Each structure stands twice: as C-alpha cells, then as structure tokens.
C-alpha cells in the first residue's frame, strides 16, 4: 500500500470516530467524507469493467456498502436540540463503519502480502477479468457506504425538523 492509500484509508476510518462525540449536523458533516471518497474515486476508479462476472462482483460489494451505510445511518443518533440537529455515531454505527472500511484496507494488505495468488485463482475460477474489477468493486463499495450513510442521516435529520415528529416533539410537555 502506498502512503496515499494509508492516509485515505485512515482518514475514512477517522470520519466516524469524529462523530463518536455529538456534533451539529451541518455542511461539514457531509463535505468531509464526500471529499475523501471523491478523492479516492478520482485517484483509483479509472474504469468499471463489465466483462465476465465483473459486474456481479461490483454489484455484490456495492450492495454490501449500501447495507452497511444504511445500517450505520440508522444506528447514528439524530436528535433535535434548539435550532440544531445533533448527531452522534453509536457503537453499532462505528463497528459497521470500521468493518466496511477495514475490510477494504485488509483486502489491500492481504493482496499486497501474499494473497494476490489466491485472488488471481478466485478471479479465474469465477470469471472476474481484471484487477481493475476488484479496485472498482472496493472503491464503489466505500463510495456507496459513505453516500448511503450520509443520505440516511440527512433524511432522518430532515424528518426530525420538518415531519410530524416535530409537531409531536413540540406537544410533549405542553399543557392543554
């Protein structure tokens, strides 16, 4: 792994740890992780191979990323405090994030330190046509995890401030 890969992988892992303490849901909540995955996508996603079973591999990992992202967003506490929406990643959200991002990092380490032959045999047996298919699959998995987690948190924050829950929240404790 290159220094840039280490830095981006660690930065993605640190994103959720930053949210372990409660903070306002604002533009930086979205821009920092989206900026990191945009950089990764720009740096490593040069093409999306479509031969053989490449799309099956890519679709599978994108599906895993979506599931992890949605679950991570669901297990992030979102609450209304005054004029602000606050978020705090819970333990489950942090574990899911580390699992998703850590799996990608672990795969990179494994293939760089003896696992490449096993991946090549697996790829040959399952008609995965190139290493670019693996790169695309893992980059799109990370991108999907980030986007679906943020989208889930965004929707939950919007529902909290504009939906029926707001009216119910304002009624709690009010005297008739």
Whether 170 shows a pLDDT value over 50: the answer reads: no
**If you count them, how many residues does the chain have?**
176
What is the average pLDDT score of the chain? Answer: 85
pLDDT band at 20 (very low <50, low <70, confident <90, very high): confident
Using a pLDDT cut of 70, give the percent of the chain over it.
91
Distance of alpha carbon 130 from alpha carbon 124, whole angstroms: 9
pLDDT value at position 74?
95
User: Could you tell me the end-to-end alpha-carbon distance of the chain, in angstroms, rounded to an integer?
Assistant: 64
Nearest to 106 by CA among 142, 62, 68: 142
pTM, two decimals, is: 0.82
Whether 173 shows a pLDDT value over 80: the answer reads: no
Phi first, then psi: give them for residue 77, nearest 5 degrees. -70, 130
pLDDT value at position 163?
62
pLDDT value at position 1?
64
Q: Quick check: 161 and 80 in contact, CB under 8 A? A: yes
Which DSSP string do the residues of 98-152 spell out, in sequence order? HHHHHHHHHHHHHIIIIIHHHHHHHHHHTT---HHHHHHHHHHHHHHHHHHHHHH
């Amino acid at each position: 792994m290159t220094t840039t890969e280490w830095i981006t992988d660690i930065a993605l892992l640190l994103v959720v740890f930053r949210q372990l303490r409660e903070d306002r849901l604002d533009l930086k909540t979205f821009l920092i992780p989206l900026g990191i995955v945009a950089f990764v996508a720009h740096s490593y996603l040069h093409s999306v191979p479509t031969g053989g079973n490449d799309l099956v591999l890519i679709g599978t990992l994108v599906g895993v990323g979506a599931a992890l992202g949605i679950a991570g967003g669901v297990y992030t506490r979102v609450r209304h405090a005054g004029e602000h929406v606050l978020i705090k990643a819970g333990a489950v959200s942090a574990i899911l994030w580390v699992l998703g991002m850590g799996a990608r990092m672990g795969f990179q380490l494994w293939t760089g330190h003896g696992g490449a032959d096993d991946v090549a045999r697996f790829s040959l047996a399952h008609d995965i046509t190139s290493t670019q298919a693996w790169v695309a699959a893992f980059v799109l998995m990370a991108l999907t995890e980030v986007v679906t987690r943020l989208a889930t948190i965004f929707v939950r924050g919007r529902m909290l401030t504009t939906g029926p829950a707001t009216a119910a929240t304002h009624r709690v404790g009010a005297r008739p």
